[in-house]
Amino acid sequence: MNNRLEMIYEGKAKKVFAHNESDKVIIEFKDDATAFNARKKATFKGKGKLNCLISSKIFDLLIKNNIPTHYLEIQNENSIIAQKIKVIPLEVVLRNTAFGSLCKQTTIKPGTVLAKPLIDLYLKNDELNDPLLTRDRIKLLDIIDIKDLDFIIDLTLKINTILKNFFNNIELDLIDFKLEFGYNSRNEIILCDEISPDNCRLWDLNQKNDIIVSLDKDRFRNDLGGLIEAYSEINRRIDNFI
């Protein structure tokens, strides 16, 4: 059945189409990759399909663990059907190990395992380069009710426990990840966007020495090469486990 209507939004890595049921959308994963707020761009044939497959399986896992998400079903290799949401303009980053911007902006050494997860909240605004927020700035800008923010933080910590354990089973260390949330038609807060190597840092635990082997978008961010091979390896390990 062709239930896909007009495109309603195009982001850096996904396109969103209207669905013939008004409370649903179709999300298509693109092969495009961007980094550093799209100052760096490339296309990787097959990335969209891999992220769609990986993300769908991770959302299934989260739903089984009672996490409310926008994911409804996979439509084909490149697209999913999801609940239509009103986006909350926050990027919620959870860090288990220090890496990336945390180490560029502070004195903490890359690879430091954090005593407890650190949650960093950013404003989802490309023009402003997604600035880091404080709770007081969130209140000042009236981005979200503080009780809804606390609900999101609690949900993010629960998601971390589920994902860390899952990835550990397939020999991957979940270093950090970025989540987005929205309100569905019943005004409930649900997890949206995607969960894939585009927005998670995943290090291979299958290494004899201490070298870091990134199986995520850092392969592109840091010009390491082998992005499709890394994403395929993650997809393969998930399939072998579930």
Is residue 136 exposed (0-12), middle (13-18) or buried (19+ Cβ within 10 Å)? exposed
Sheet strands (E) in the chain: 4-10, 14-19, 24-29, 32-35, 40-43, 71-76, 79-83, 86-87, 90-97, 113-123, 172-183, 189-192, 200-204
Which residues in this chain contact ligand TMP in the complex, by CB under 6 A? 93, 100-102, 130, 176-178, 199-201
Question: CA 38 to CA 64: how far, in whole Å?
Answer: 34
Task: Please say which residue, 38 or 141, places its beta carbon nearer to ligand TMP.
Answer: 38
Question: CA 227 to CA 44: how far, in whole Å?
Answer: 8
With CB atoms as reference, the residue minimizing the distance to ligand TMP is: 100
Minimum distance, C-beta of residue 235 to ligand TMP, in the bound complex (Å): 18
Minimum distance, C-beta of residue 219 to ligand TMP, in the bound complex (Å): 12
Task: Please say which residue, 15 or 221, places its beta carbon nearer to ligand TMP.
Answer: 221
Minimum distance, C-beta of residue 200 to ligand TMP, in the bound complex (Å): 5
Minimum distance, C-beta of residue 75 to ligand TMP, in the bound complex (Å): 23
Task: Please say which residue, 3 or 125, places its beta carbon nearer to ligand TMP.
Answer: 125
Task: Please say which residue, 101 or 232, places its beta carbon nearer to ligand TMP.
Answer: 101
Minimum distance, C-beta of residue 99 to ligand TMP, in the bound complex (Å): 6
Question: CA 30 to CA 14: how far, in whole Å?
Answer: 5
Task: Please say which residue, 78 or 96, places its beta carbon nearer to ligand TMP.
Answer: 96
Beta bridge partners of 92: 121, 179
